[in-house]
Structure 1
Amino acid sequence: MSENRKIAKEIIDAIGGEENISSVAHCATRLRIMVNDKEKIDQPKVEKIDKVKGAFFNSGQFQIILGTGTVNRIFEEVEKLGINGSTKADQSKQAGKSGNAFQRAIRSLGDVFVPIIPVLVATGLFMGLRGLVMQEKVLALFGLVPGDISENFLLFTEILTDTAFIFLPALIAWSAFRVFGGTPIIGLILGLMLVSPSLPNAWGVAGGGVEPLYFLNFIPVVGYQGSVLPAFFAGILGAKLERVIRKRVPEALDLIITPFLTLLIMITVALFVIGPIFHIVEEFILEGTLAVLGLPIGLGGLLIGLFHQVIVVTGVHHIFNLLEIQLLENFGSNPFNAIITASIAAQGGAALAVGLKTKSAKLKALALPSSLSAFLGITEPAIFGVNLRYVKPFFMGIIGGAVGGFFASIFNLEASGMSITVIPGSLLYLNGQILLYLVVNIIAISVAFALTWLFGYSDKEKEDVSA
Structure 2
Amino acid sequence: MAKTDQQIAREVIDAIGGQDNVSSIAHCATRLRIMVHDKEQIDQEKVEEIEKVKGAFFNSGQYQIIFGTGTVNKIYEAVTGLGVTAKSKEKVKTESVKQGNAFQRAIRIFGDVFVPIIPVLVATGLFMGLRGVIMNEQILAWLGMTAEDISPNFILFTQVLTDTAFAFLPALVAWSAFKVFGGSPILGIVLGLMLVNPALPNAYAVGDGSAEALKFFGLIPVVGYQGSVLPAFFVGLIGAKLERALRKRIPDAIDLIVTPFLTLLVMITLGLFVIGPIFHGLETVILSGTKWVLDLPYGIAGLVIGFFQQIIVVTGVHHIFNFMEIQLLEEFKYNEFNPIISAAMTAQGAATVAVGLKTRNAKLKALALPSAFSAFLGITEPAIFGVNLRYFKPFICGLVGGAAGGFLASLFHLKASGMAITVLPGILLFIQDIGQLPFYLLVLAVSFIVGFTLTWFFGYSDKMAEELKAK
The TM-score range, normalised by the shorter chain, is over 0.9
Partner of 1:437: 440
Contact 2:3 2:51 in 1 (8 A): no
2: CA distance, partners of 1:235 / 1:202? 20
**Which string of whole-angstrom CA distances, capped at 9 and with x for unpartnered residues, describes residues 423-457 of structure 1?**
11111000212221111001001101000111111
Contact 1:376 1:422 in 2 (8 A): yes
**Which string of whole-angstrom CA distances, capped at 9 and with x for unpartnered residues, describes residues 168-193 of structure 1?**
11111111111111111111111111
Matched, 1:112 2:113: yes
SS class of match (1:210): coil
2: CA distance, partners of 1:172 / 1:380? 27
2: CA distance, partners of 1:111 / 1:231? 15
2: CA distance, partners of 1:137 / 1:69? 42
Partner of 2:173: 172
1: CA distance, partners of 2:209 / 2:87? 50
Matched, 1:406 2:426: no
**1:445 is matched by which residue type in structure 2?**
F
**1:464 is matched by which residue type in structure 2?**
E
Q: CA deviation at 1:143?
A: 2.4
Q: CA RMSD in A?
A: 1.2
2: CA distance, partners of 1:117 / 1:339? 19
Partner of 1:461: 464
2: CA distance, partners of 1:137 / 1:397? 37
Q: CA deviation at 1:137?
A: 2.7
1:397 to 1:2, Cα distance in 2 relative to 1, 3 A: closer
Equivalent residue pairs, number: 467
Contact 2:48 2:54 in 1 (8 A): yes
2: CA distance, partners of 1:311 / 1:434? 27
SS class of match (1:333): coil
Contact 2:172 2:189 in 1 (8 A): yes
Q: CA deviation at 1:134?
A: 1.4
Matched, 1:450 2:450: no
Partner of 1:421: 422
Partner of 1:147: 148
After superposing on structure 2, the runs of 4+ consecutive aligned residues of structure 1 that deviate more than 6 Å are: none
2: CA distance, partners of 1:83 / 1:155? 54
1: CA distance, partners of 2:340 / 2:458? 24
Partner of 1:35: 36
Unaligned runs of 5+ in 1: none
Partner of 2:283: 282
Partner of 1:268: 269
Partner of 2:100: 99
2: CA distance, partners of 1:189 / 1:86? 30
**Which string of whole-angstrom CA distances, capped at 9 and with x for unpartnered residues, describes residues 51-75 of structure 1?**
1111111111100011122212212
Partner of 1:79: 80
Contact 1:389 1:465 in 2 (8 A): no
Partner of 2:340: 339
Matched, 1:188 2:189: yes
Q: CA deviation at 1:138?
A: 2.1
Contact 1:301 1:409 in 2 (8 A): yes
Contact 1:34 1:60 in 2 (8 A): yes
Percentage of identical aligned residues: 67
**Which string of whole-angstrom CA distances, capped at 9 and with x for unpartnered residues, describes residues 333-375 of structure 1?**
1111001110011100111111111111111011111111100
Contact 1:182 1:240 in 2 (8 A): yes
**2:149 is matched by which residue type in structure 1?**
D
**1:195 is matched by which residue type in structure 2?**
V
Q: CA deviation at 1:76?
A: 2.1
Partner of 1:320: 321
Contact 1:20 1:36 in 2 (8 A): yes
**2:209 is matched by which residue type in structure 1?**
G
Q: CA deviation at 1:136?
A: 2.1
Unaligned runs of 5+ in 2: none
1: CA distance, partners of 2:287 / 2:271? 21
**Which string of whole-angstrom CA distances, capped at 9 and with x for unpartnered residues, describes residues 151-203 of structure 1?**
10011101111111111111111111111111111111111111111111111
Q: CA deviation at 1:36?
A: 1.7
Q: CA deviation at 1:2?
A: 6.5
**2:129 is matched by which residue type in structure 1?**
G
SS class of match (1:422): coil
